[in-house]
Structure 1
Amino acid sequence: MWDDSLWDDYSLNLEKEDVSDTDITPNEDEDESKSAEVFSRPVPHDASDPESADSLIASQMAKLSVADREKVYMDVHGIPDDFVVETPELIHNSLLGLQREINILPDKKAYSIAEQLDPAYTQDRDFRLAFLRCEKFDCHKAALRLVRHFQMKLDLFGQDMLTRDITQDDLNMDDMDCLYSSSGRFLNAYDKAGRVINMMVQVPKTYKTNTVLRKGFYNFMTTYRRDVDIQRRGFVGVLLHPGDEIKGSSADNADLVWKLPKLNEGVPIFLSAIHLCYTTDAWEGMHAMVKTALSKPNQVRCRVHTGTILECFEELRGHGIDPSCIPINGKGEITDHSEHSQILEQQRRQERLLYPTRSTIAVPFCEDVLLGKGTPFQIHLGNKKLRQFVADRFKKYERAQKGEKKAVAYEIIDAVRGNGGLFLKQDGNRWAPATDDVALLKVGALFRYLRLKNGTK
């Protein structure tokens, strides 16, 4: 169990310790980039060449020791592996070591900006522990992953979002469409080793690179908070391309194919293994680029499966993944769109209750009440629910004394907000939360409408 006194010591040491002359030497692999920026790394000219990709992986495998090769074999076959035992002393020393390593990293512009904006956010103990767990408490690797995290966040969401957890209210319309498409997400399912499964599947739509990257970043950051064991065990990726047409699909974007694997280098969940499944040779070039884009430690954890969907699934079974937990049928179609949407809606409902209300929102929630006139406003689900709330309390409202009617109206406003809803008014092409006074006017207008409709005074 964590000893709070150790955290106090850690905080004091951060203030007192001078690390400018530290003699700690990074233990990063010679051939691994030290840059915080990963999305801008150049694409090799032969990135989509299958033979070149396989040669690259063979080269990385040849560099491994016998013990490391055995570890890779266990990872790709879903054989459970013991994770680090977290003692109070290990946590304490690792947090100190992490800060030292951050201080000596030369490229940490985005992290430094975040540190100035909100040091409590960047130094949050649980947040930092997730990065340490991700790298098996290797302080240098955890520091590099952490500064890459903030660089990615700056690239994808801008400076204003650097020290805020990303929610669905922070995503734009295209991001939300991609998120709810079900094409790429973490399942509520685990392999034999207890690692959460990340499913990525081709859908008949082309998305912009940053749209998919923002969606992916959101999914990673939401998933790492689900369970500490996810931080300790990592995840296994399953990339499915069941069709034979790349053009016009979600994979018809070479820039995205190159950059998407880079997300794994700046989030607090590590990739234990990735399985690339495809039914025709049309996908060979794209999968070669995926393998080339992976970080060197992850390249050797990549396996390719070819054949029909069912044949690929049987091969996955041999790697510790139960095909019944993957919501794809024999035709390669996603089978749980509705269930997935419900999960995302519940997730958004919880976010609304946990995080501060955003000043503007691009995509209204199904629980929101839209203020305005016309059919689009009236048919919105949140408006329908509001009318039902008003109808359910109409008699109570009519019986209430003049001074008590406002309390009844507030009951309705609280009911909307209790479900994660907001009263929204249009603000250009976005939506802004309305004040309580405006919400009261809306509820009062509905009560007056019911009174006229019922012929009461």
Structure 2
Amino acid sequence: MSVISQQYKQKSNCLGIRLETPQESRNSLLTKEDEQKTKENDAMLVEALNGLTFEERQEQQEIVHGVDEMTADESTFIESTLKDLDNILLRTKHGTLYETAESLNPEYVGARAFRIMFLRGNRYDAKASAKQMLTFFEWKEQLFGREKLVKDITMDDLDEDDRACMRAGYVQIPGKDRSNRTILLHLPGLRSFKTLMNELRSRYYIWMTILKSEECQLRGAVVLVYAVGCLKDQKEGVGYMENARLFLALPLHQAAIHVFTDNSAEYIMGNGIIRMFSSKIRARFRIHYGSHMECQYLLPSYGISPKLLPLKTITLQVNMHQHHRWCESCLLNDTSDCPDLGTSQTTMTKYNDDDVLYVAGKKSNNAGNERLRVLVADLSQKYDTGTTEKKRTIVEGMIGEIHKTGGRFLKQNPGSDSDWIEIPVDEARLKITQMFRNHRRRVGALIQGGCLIAGEPLPNDVVFGKTHRSRGSDLMHYLIKARSDEYNSLDRGMKVQVVDAVLERIKGEGGRFLQTAPEHGGWLEVTTEMARIRVSKYFRNNRRKAKKNG
């Protein structure tokens, strides 16, 4: 059994799932030669991992499991790194197509953004970036000819067969993982091309399109090859090595590479491709062997929502509508010169429960919207009293919380009732800031609607705060604990009824809901709506504590 298979068999056993390895599968036809190759590849992976320090191994594990890498502060070193890159290119460019391209259009080749893109893809390794730039122009000339060597490739540069290959859907951009990294989904069962050059040109276009996003350059992409069930490669691996070589010639940082399969041929193919990658990439390469349902269970542990796969659960039929819309948006953005295609402007027809939808009506109560409202309510006090930098940190953290579960910030595409567009991070940040302002005004109005009381709180009163204890407060916490399971199982409308029942019980005992009013030197009886907000927050806190302790 391969080391990778052993690792994920152990992982799946923890989840109560068992993934078969090819050797255990009834359909496995591994020869002794195949088994020997698998063992050799396992040894290569072990060597790659053993070459890392403990801290480096931990870091690679976190990256593979969807924990975002710490993005470097470029401003502290980018100028010196660019100079290093220029010096290396000056020594190595003679007689290369890079030198030809530089003579044809020095502005294109020497553009700061173009060079930084290669540095980001190689994590600011100037030597590796220079080597990749030389290879990049060799591939570009081979695919598109010398006349297109020093221009950005657009949809107009693809012929009819190239476009047909792209629309077939072997490579799709379904969304992002929990760390907001673009997912490059490969469905081998949809491979279709007239010639291998058609496939390579379409791959080049897709990969370079997502690199127009600065966020994708910084965070990298997660490559997901899903060869399960009927989604097996009908081309029997033709051109896999050429695809891999082209992929390595482009400045796209591979944050992680996952191959999911349930058949021996794809498993062996995946093991063979490992040899082409550097030791750094091998440390982030994983092969998973199991059925569609087993693989679906594994995806979330790597920060990928199964809902992002455009597949029907039983039949594994592929819904191509979103991919075709993405292809159409590529054409539109090529003509409008959009700078950020493939991330913030990706058009999609489906949203998931974790998405935040900026739309009026019932859809504004999507689970992602509810979660964001809860975060605003919970963090409002820290936000209102924080510095400008602290407020920004809070908002960034909230965006990260939504992304961790596969959520996105979406708005409806103008002129369409069914299509959605993912908004840029800056726009999401502004909208959350506005939510905090609205919450502060609403809470302020509720407090103003309360009334001052004379004297001290009575025993059955509930005083909101961490230090005050009373019979009324004890009763409230008892009721919250007793009804927590019921509250957590209900939707938003029914949860309000549970909260109101707690309020009525307190009032039935003659209790009131109070908070300190230091500016008036006394106590303030809050409105019912404000009491409802506070009790709802206690329910949420109780749920978090239960999860932490459980």
Task: Please give the TM-score of this superposition, normalised by the length of structure 2.
Answer: 0.52
Structure 2 residue 215 is matched with structure 1 residue 229: yes
Alignment of 1:32-431 (within 5 A): 49-87=37-75, 90-105=77-92, 109-187=96-174, 189-203=175-189, 205-207=191-193, 208-225=195-212, 227-243=213-229, 249-254=233-238, 256-331=239-314, 333=316, 335-354=318-337
For residues 124 and 235 of structure 2, what CA distance do their matches in structure 1 show?
35
Q: Give the CA deviation at 1:328.
A: 2.1
Structure 1 residues 24-56: Cα deviation after superposition (integer angstroms, max 9, x where no partner): xxxxxxxxxxxxxxxxxxxxx989932222222
The SS at the match of 2:74 is coil
For residues 341 and 154 of structure 1, what CA distance do their matches in structure 2 show?
28
Q: Give the CA deviation at 1:334.
A: 5.4
For residues 46 and 72 of structure 2, what CA distance do their matches in structure 1 show?
29
Q: Is the alpha carbon distance of 1:46 and 1:283 closer, same or farther for their aligned partners in structure 2, counting shifts above 3 Å?
A: closer
For residues 48 and 109 of structure 1, what CA distance do their matches in structure 2 show?
39
Structure 1 residues 133-185: Cα deviation after superposition (integer angstroms, max 9, x where no partner): 12222211221222221121112222111101111111122211110111112
For residues 349 and 168 of structure 1, what CA distance do their matches in structure 2 show?
9
Q: Name the aligned partner's letter for residue 259 of structure 1.
A: E
Q: Give the CA deviation at 1:338.
A: 2.0
Q: Is the alpha carbon distance of 1:295 and 1:261 closer, same or farther for their aligned partners in structure 2, counting shifts above 3 Å?
A: farther
Q: Give the CA deviation at 1:347.
A: 1.5
Q: Is the alpha carbon distance of 1:106 and 1:126 closer, same or farther for their aligned partners in structure 2, counting shifts above 3 Å?
A: closer
For residues 185 and 61 of structure 2, what CA distance do their matches in structure 1 show?
21
For residues 230 and 237 of structure 2, what CA distance do their matches in structure 1 show?
15
The SS at the match of 2:165 is helix
Q: Are 1:242 and 1:331, in contact at CA under 8 Å, matched by a contact in 2?
A: no
Query: RMSD over aligned Cα, in angstroms?
Result: 2.4
Q: Structure with the greater relative contact order (CA < 8 A, sep ≥ 6): 1 or 2?
A: 1
For residues 48 and 290 of structure 1, what CA distance do their matches in structure 2 show?
15
The SS at the match of 1:231 is helix
Structure 1 residues 228-271: Cα deviation after superposition (integer angstroms, max 9, x where no partner): 1111110111101123685xx454234x1122222332222210
For residues 212 and 48 of structure 1, what CA distance do their matches in structure 2 show?
31
Q: Give the CA deviation at 1:111.
A: 0.7
Q: Are 1:234 and 1:270, in contact at CA under 8 Å, matched by a contact in 2?
A: yes
Q: Give the CA deviation at 1:279.
A: 1.6
Q: Are 1:239 and 1:276, in contact at CA under 8 Å, matched by a contact in 2?
A: yes
The SS at the match of 2:141 is helix
Computing the radius of gyration over CA atoms, which structure comes out larger, 1 or 2?
2
Q: Is the alpha carbon distance of 1:296 and 1:260 closer, same or farther for their aligned partners in structure 2, counting shifts above 3 Å?
A: farther
For residues 308 and 273 of structure 1, what CA distance do their matches in structure 2 show?
21
Q: Which runs of 5+ in 2 are unaligned?
A: 1-32, 339-550
The SS at the match of 1:190 is coil
The SS at the match of 1:198 is strand
For residues 182 and 209 of structure 2, what CA distance do their matches in structure 1 show?
13
Q: Is the alpha carbon distance of 1:49 and 1:113 closer, same or farther for their aligned partners in structure 2, counting shifts above 3 Å?
A: same
Q: Name the aligned partner's letter for residue 73 of structure 1.
A: Q
For residues 304 and 244 of structure 2, what CA distance do their matches in structure 1 show?
21
For residues 47 and 163 of structure 1, what CA distance do their matches in structure 2 show?
46
Q: Are 2:184 and 2:221, in contact at CA under 8 Å, matched by a contact in 1?
A: yes
Structure 1 residues 379-416: Cα deviation after superposition (integer angstroms, max 9, x where no partner): xxxxxxxxxxxxxxxxxxxxxxxxxxxxxxxxxxxxxx
The SS at the match of 1:49 is helix
For residues 203 and 276 of structure 1, what CA distance do their matches in structure 2 show?
14
Q: Name the aligned partner's letter for residue 176 of structure 2.
A: Y
Q: Is the alpha carbon distance of 1:115 and 1:106 closer, same or farther for their aligned partners in structure 2, counting shifts above 3 Å?
A: closer
Q: Are 1:278 and 1:307, in contact at CA under 8 Å, matched by a contact in 2?
A: yes
For residues 218 and 48 of structure 1, what CA distance do their matches in structure 2 show?
37
Structure 1 residues 5-40: Cα deviation after superposition (integer angstroms, max 9, x where no partner): xxxxxxxxxxxxxxxxxxxxxxxxxxxxxxxxxxxx
The SS at the match of 2:216 is helix
Q: Is the alpha carbon distance of 1:75 and 1:54 closer, same or farther for their aligned partners in structure 2, counting shifts above 3 Å?
A: same
For residues 138 and 205 of structure 1, what CA distance do their matches in structure 2 show?
34
Task: Please give the TM-score of this superposition, normalised by the length of structure 1.
Answer: 0.62
The SS at the match of 2:189 is coil
The SS at the match of 2:153 is coil
For residues 148 and 115 of structure 2, what CA distance do their matches in structure 1 show?
18
For residues 44 and 235 of structure 2, what CA distance do their matches in structure 1 show?
23
Q: Give the CA deviation at 1:92.
A: 2.1
For residues 185 and 245 of structure 1, what CA distance do their matches in structure 2 show?
14
For residues 158 and 55 of structure 2, what CA distance do their matches in structure 1 show?
43
1:387 is aligned to none
For residues 253 and 111 of structure 1, what CA distance do their matches in structure 2 show?
31
Q: Name the aligned partner's letter for residue 118 of structure 2.
A: F
For residues 260 and 313 of structure 1, what CA distance do their matches in structure 2 show?
26
For residues 73 and 300 of structure 1, what CA distance do their matches in structure 2 show?
8
Q: Is the alpha carbon distance of 1:200 and 1:107 closer, same or farther for their aligned partners in structure 2, counting shifts above 3 Å?
A: farther
Q: Is the alpha carbon distance of 1:132 and 1:334 closer, same or farther for their aligned partners in structure 2, counting shifts above 3 Å?
A: farther
What percentage of residue pairs aligned between the two structures are identical?
24
2:532 is aligned to none
Q: Are 2:66 and 2:303, in contact at CA under 8 Å, matched by a contact in 1?
A: yes
Q: Which runs of 5+ in 1 are unaligned?
A: 1-44, 356-457
Q: Name the aligned partner's letter for residue 282 of structure 2.
A: Q
